[in-house]
């Protein structure tokens, strides 16, 4: 489903945008930038007619998303059986305040990935995924924490969802008011929203020689402006 030559995902009947298709983004690199910036995804699936949407942490490694959980969890048990899933990620970049209620909106970047998740069986791939989860939160964290035990590894299940059928949707820019509303006497524009870390709070006394957490380790993740993947819509 991928045009390898230019890294653009093919548009499928399930990923074709019917409403505001001009906001659609199918460039793999742009989709990956959104996935790499967010922390939480929602994994949706249906079991015996009952829909579920489970929020969970994740990591992207190459051309796949990985998420994990207890082997006894509903999500792991059901998805291991080969259910189709819809995984979504959303970044909120701003409140768009228009001169009419009808044209109020938000600036956002979102990704939808469709497919079938597979249980990771191999030890090395499983460890790489768990390392990815940890380093997705704080780069380099896996190398400095206590190594995972065999019992912990056994009690944790990891699922892999190939990124083969996916799309992003992006809105940037100011409100799109009707011309006749431009003179309405109310403030209009965009209120940017940025996720920023606070001061680290230590968990009790630290052993001698342990330095304070350096927020710079989080990189530019919290400082990024909305990706310029699409013109203002």
98 lies in a domain?
no
Contacts of 179 (CB under 8 A, 6+ apart): none
33 lies in a domain?
yes
The pLDDT of 43-53, averaged and rounded, is: 93
Residues 29 and 105 sit within 8 Å (Cβ to Cβ) = no
Q: How far apart are CA 209 and CA 203, in angstroms?
A: 15
164 lies in a domain?
yes
**What residues make up the domain containing 8?**
2-93+106-174
Tell me: pLDDT of 33 over 70: yes
213 lies in a domain?
no
Mean pLDDT is highest, among 68-82, 153-167, 213-227, for: 153-167
227 lies in a domain?
no
205 lies in a domain?
no
What is the model's pLDDT at position 59?
95
Residues 192 and 93 sit within 8 Å (Cβ to Cβ) = yes
The pLDDT of 192-207, averaged and rounded, is: 88
Tell me: pLDDT of 3 over 50: no
What is the model's pLDDT at position 197?
84
Looking up residue 56, the CATH number of its domain turns out to be: 2.30.110.10
Going by C-alpha positions, the residue among 17, 6, 45, 5 that lies closest to residue 169 is 17
113 lies in a domain?
yes
Strands (E), the chain: 2-3, 8-9, 24-25, 40-47, 50-57, 59-61, 64-70, 84-97, 105-116, 118-119, 156-162, 165-171, 189-192
pLDDT band at 220; cut points 50, 70, 90: low
Q: How many domains does the chain fold into? A: 1
Contacts of 164 (CB under 8 A, 6+ apart): 1, 2, 9, 63, 115
The pLDDT of 141-162, averaged and rounded, is: 94
73 lies in a domain?
yes
pLDDT band at 222; cut points 50, 70, 90: low
Q: Are strands 105-116 and 84-97 parallel, antiparallel or unpaired?
A: antiparallel
């Amino acid at each position: 489903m991928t045009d390898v030559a230019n890294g653009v995902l093919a548009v499928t009947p399930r990923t074709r945008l019917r409403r505001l298709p001009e906001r659609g983004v199918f460039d793999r690199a742009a989709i990956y930038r959104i996935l790499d910036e967010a922390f939480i995804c929602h994994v949706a699936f249906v079991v015996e007619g009952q829909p579920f949407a489970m929020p969970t942490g994740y990591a992207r490694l190459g051309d796949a998303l990985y998420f994990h959980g207890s082997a006894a969890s509903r999500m792991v048990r059901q998805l291991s059986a080969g259910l189709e899933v819809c995984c979504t990620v959303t970044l909120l970049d701003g409140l768009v305040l228009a001169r009419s209620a009808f044209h109020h909106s938000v600036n956002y970047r979102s990704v939808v990935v469709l497919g079938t998740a597979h249980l990771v069986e191999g030890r090395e791939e499983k460890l790489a995924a768990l390392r990815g989860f940890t380093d997705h939160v704080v780069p380099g964290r896996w190398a400095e924490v206590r190594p995972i035990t065999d019992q912990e590894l056994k009690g944790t299940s990891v699922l892999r969802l190939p990124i083969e059928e996916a799309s992003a949707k992006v809105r940037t820019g100011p409100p799109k008011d009707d011309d006749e509303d431009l003179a309405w006497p109310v403030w209009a524009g965009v209120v940017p929203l940025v996720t920023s870390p606070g001061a680290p709070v230590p968990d009790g006394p630290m052993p001698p020689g342990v330095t304070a957490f350096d927020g710079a380790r989080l990189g530019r993740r919290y400082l990024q402006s909305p990706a310029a993947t699409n013109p203002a819509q």
